[in-house]
A = this chain, B = another copy of it.
Amino acid sequence: MISMSSKPMISRMGASVPDKIWVQGRDLCTDLLGKIGFAEMTWLELTGALPTPEQTALLEAMLLTLVEHGATPMAIATRLTYLGAPEALQGAVAAGLLGMGTAFAGTAEGAAKMLYAALKDAPADEDLEIIARRVVDRELGAKRPIFGIGHNLHKPIDPRTPVLFSIAEKQGYNGRYVALIEAIATAAEARTGKSMPVNATGAIGALCCELGLDWRLCRGLAVIGRAVGLVGHIAEELRTPIAKQIWMRTEEEIARSVALADQQMERGA
């Protein structure tokens, strides 16, 4: 074990003395409370600086898109966990957040990482369509899905994408990353002959790049948005509970399926 005692340990997130509290070097009581909104606070936490109105508008649209998707596996996990531990609401939200892995939410960060890498590796003046075709050929050639492209339900377009990109345009953030992911979608449709729209997570990944955020924080935005949504599901569960029914129906259905399978096996024997 090497001693690390001599290395400084710097963190500038927050500090407090009896009559003052600082957040990111700003006085919470005089400079933030009543002065900025929740999305601006989110930006401040992520970057250490306050956002411009344009950055705020874009971040709000991104966060709003990530809040609510109905009775997803995450929302169901939150409700079932709340059923067992209503005294620990934080655990129910945590349980839901834990489902935000590669299958559902990894695509925004995957898209952002892919877009950052594609523009970093390409000559500065290279045509975006050529870059896009190279990405599509590489991914589809390796039989990998392309992050942020395509959707099971939302076809031929994901209705959130044009709205997000139109807000980005209005705020002056429709730059090369947005153009590139649109070119990737076009190239993917050309190569496959199938509907391959930029989906909402692809759009959010591209907007993370436009805002200059670390691609690893894309999932952080999703976690923040979804935390709001999962508390929302608990709020609805308090008004009109369904968790116990989900459990009971699952138990009933398993009992029915197993009994049926056992009967069939006996008959077959």
Q: What residues make up the interface of A, taking CB atoms closer than 8 Å to B?
A: 1-5, 7-21, 23-24, 28-29, 32-34, 36-39, 41-42, 45-48, 57, 59-61, 63-65, 67-77, 80-81, 83-105, 153-155, 157, 159-160, 163-164, 166-167, 214, 216-217, 219-221, 223-224, 227-229, 231-236, 238, 240, 242-255, 257-258, 260-261
Contacts and interface: CB of A to CB of B under 8 A. Distances in A.
Contact of A68 (B14, B251, B257): B14
Prevailing SS type, chain A contact patch: helix
B87 A28 contact: no
A149 B246 CA distance: 26
A48 B236 CA distance: 8
A158 to B, nearest CB: 9
Contact of A248 (B1, B166, B216): B1
A8 B261 contact: yes
B71 A153 contact: no
Nearest to A82: B99
A41 B19 contact: no
A37 B34 contact: no
A39 B42 contact: no
Contacts of A92: 98
Nearest to A70: B14
A242 B10 contact: yes
A10 B254 contact: yes
A234 B28 CA distance: 21
Nearest to A164: B33
Given A70-B16, A154-B19, A228 B86 contact: no
Contact of A103 (B46, B84, B251, B255): B84
